[in-house]
Amino acid sequence: MAAGAPRIFVSHLAGVPVFDPAGDKVGRLRDLVVMLRVRRRPPRLLGLVVELSTRRRIFLPMTRVTGVESGQVITTGVVNVRRFEQRPTERLVFGELLDRRVQLVETGEEVTVLDLAVQQLPTRRDWEIDRVFVRKGRTGTFRRTRGETLTVEWSQVTGFSLEEHGQGAESLLATFEQLRPADLANMLHHLSAKRRAEVAAALDDDRLADVLEELPEDDQIEILGKLKEERAADVLEAMDPDDAADLLAELPEADKERLLSLMEPADAAEMRRLMSYEEHTAGGLMTTEPIVLRPDATVADALARVRNPDLSPALAAQVYVCRPPDETPTGKYLGTVHFQRLLRDPPYTLVSSLVDDDLQPLDPDATLPVIAGFFATYDMVAAPVVDESGSLLGAVTVDDVLDHMLPEDWRETEFHLAEGEPAAEKTPERRAGIHGA
């Protein structure tokens, strides 16, 4: 970038794609790595944390960056794909500097950091954070007191210590508000435990529930343990029943019973029912909230249920026709109607005339290999679980099967890099260029 390059606020860089010189996508920018300096000198921008398609996070030194714009980052095309590990003297801009409470040097007034600006120095390849966008007044966890905002030079504020203190999470969440739950969970996983708790506290119950479902077990237990018990129970109720039951099953017995006692009786009974099955069986894997319709429902009724945006694609792929009651466990299970069949028939057609009753449903005690074989044999993405009396208990989805067949640390394991991803640098060091300075 040439001299006189424009200043870029970091909020505009969150999640932008990173490309090599040929225009092939390397990954997405997830954070910026800076080194704080003494005497209020602007921090040096050391590099970027880039997330590859495999979800591995790597460090991209600024010496490997040839262009930075609001919508993209261009690299030299040669990157080191070794996993990013933060050093003690480094700070992450999104993870540790946004939402920090700092003071204006001139007045001593406490302000909240909303954004930071980076700029490349005109005489060399170094980058600095030279401006701070702040808001006067207090910022609450769930509401923001609107105060005056202003942009000041880095030297005009103090309080960016290496200690984490008094941080909220609103600006960080606003920066990543468009992330899917799985991507937000991945970001949360890479934060410190204290910062993770701050972000979890700032999320609403439904969003936190979605994110918890995508986190490793240790992170789930850690976050749940730092919530007030009443809120922890509310979040568990907002989770998919099978995921909530899996999480409850990992807690000490006293904690589990205390949380169950705070939940709505119907939700608590559902959790207990799910926990009564062995973990790696159809009963232990199933969700108790599939789409259930009575025989006199029409195709139009079915499609209206399928359109529910809160349903996963796997659950929306088919509906289950049962006699009343139509809450699991239901009356007699009659069969399945696949989404594609619903699209082929008139809206007034009764679903009872369309059921596929050729495939045998899964037994609640069916083991994981049996379930996986069922999905592979019949190209299914979801399957009904029916007890010996013929009642529908729930449905197992293919994502549930994959979660339990992959290694426990699969979120931290890269099996293979996708073809076309950048090759690792030949140097054995994790970083080169300015990072070694």
pLDDT of res. 419: 38
State residue 412's pLDDT score. 59
Regions of the chain with pLDDT less than 50: 1-3, 141-144, 164-166, 414-437
From the candidate CATH numbers 3.90.1010.20, 3.40.640.10, 1.10.150.530, 3.10.580.10, the one assigned to the domain spanning 292-402: 3.10.580.10
Please give the CATH number for the structural domain made up of 8-87.
2.30.30.240
SS (H, E, C) the chain: CCCCCCCEEHHHCCCCEEECCCCCEEEEEEEEEEECCCCCCCCEEEEEEEECCCCCEEEEEHHHEEEECCCCEEECCCCCCCECCCCCCEEEHHHHHCCCEEEECCCCCEEEEEEEEEEECCCCCCEEEEEEEEEECCECCCCECCCCEEEEEHHHEECCCCCCCCCCCHHHHHHCCCCCHHHHHHHHHCCCHHHHHHHHHHCCHHHHHHHHCCCCHHHHHHHHHHCCHHHHHHHHHHCCHHHHHHHHHCCCHHHHHHHHHHCCHHHHHHHHHHHCCCCCEHHHHCECCCCEECCCCEHHHHHHHHCCCCCCCCHHHEEEEECCCCCCCCCEEEEEEEHHHHHHCCCCCEHHHCCECCCCCECCCCEHHHHHHHHHHHCCCEEEEECCCCEEEEEEEHHHHHHHHCCCCHHHCCCCCCCCCCCCCCCCCCCCHHHHC
- Classify domain 204-276 by CATH number: 1.25.60.10
pLDDT of residue 429: 37
Prediction pTM value: 0.65
Q: What pLDDT shows up at residue 104? A: 93
pLDDT for the residue numbered 112: 93
Domain positions in the chain: 8-87, 95-170, 204-276, 292-402
Output the six-digit token pair for 423: 């090759």
> Would you state the pLDDT for residue 209?
93
pLDDT at residue 1, as a whole number: 42
**Residue 436: per-residue pLDDT:** 32
Q: What is the CATH number of domain 95-170?
A: 2.30.30
Q: Do the domains 8-87 and 95-170 sit in the same CATH topology, yes or no?
A: yes
